[in-house]
Amino acid sequence: MPQLISPAELDRLVRSGAVRVLDVRYRLDRPDGSADHLDGHVPGAVYVDMETELSRHGRPEDGRHPLPATEDLQAAARRWGVHDGDTIVIYDDDRALGASRAWWLLTRSGVVDVRLLDGGLRAWVAAGLPLETGPVVPEPGDVSLAHIVEPVLSIDEAAALPASGVLIDVRAAERYRGEVEPVDPIPGHIPGAVNLPTTAYMDGERFRDAASLRALFGGVGVAEGVTAAAYCGSGVTAAQAAFAAELAGLRLGIYPGSWSQWSNMPGRPIATGAAPAEVTATV
């Protein structure tokens, strides 16, 4: 099943009515993208809210974007008008961050045909394709979602993974090294984690080609047969890494609690600097 779809291909599906389009516009500095959606979206696209539908509210020690309960995600997907067997195309306007989170949740819940719009909303606009304004409220769907069982790591599994596999921190290098931390309470990274920032596998709004992605992941030890998982600040960008890995023919698990959970848990060791095993402090 293809993971990406071009604007021209999506336009044909939209015109034929053979697709459910989801708009997951989300930015860390502007988490509510509903106003942008109302101002202009791919025709028929339903707005999906990151904070209330693709995550749940939790305590600080749960992380900033805990995974939603299966029944809540299923109710949201039915609100989006999703039926079993539908082709689903997802987009956003910020490097496929929100779109990848929705892709990961749906595919790991058993939905088969889920694709991302290659280049996001900017590619759609650049292709001269039309935008629609106002709200989109489809007839409710009847999709049935399965409980996500793998590959999802608990905090203890994330701590243990570097001893037997590869744990990737996909945050910016300066956050990994502990030089800055603009969001979470303590800077640094999980001991033993390697760093592969999201900027490495993105070219603007598009993912790099499969060969380049495979080489990038191979450079940090990820290959077929190697157990590997990604984490980020709150579990959103980690899904983007999982999508990039899948384009390369690889499989990444996700530690959804990510640094926002780890840094809020007293007693968890903290590493800083470029050496992945250098433990310099404890929370």
Point out the residues that are catalytic: 232
Distance set, CA 232 to CA 24, 133, 134, 135, 278 (Å): 19, 33, 33, 32, 19
Task: List phi, psi (to 5°) of 240.
Answer: -65, -40
Q: Dihedral of CA 160/166/171/172: which sign?
A: positive
- Measure the CA–CA gap between 120 and 64, rounded to whole angstroms: 25
Asked, as a colleague might, if the bond just before 151 is cis with ω within 30 of 0, I would say yes
| Closest C-alpha to 9, from 66, 89, 91 | 89
* 263, 184 Cβ separation under 8 angstroms: yes
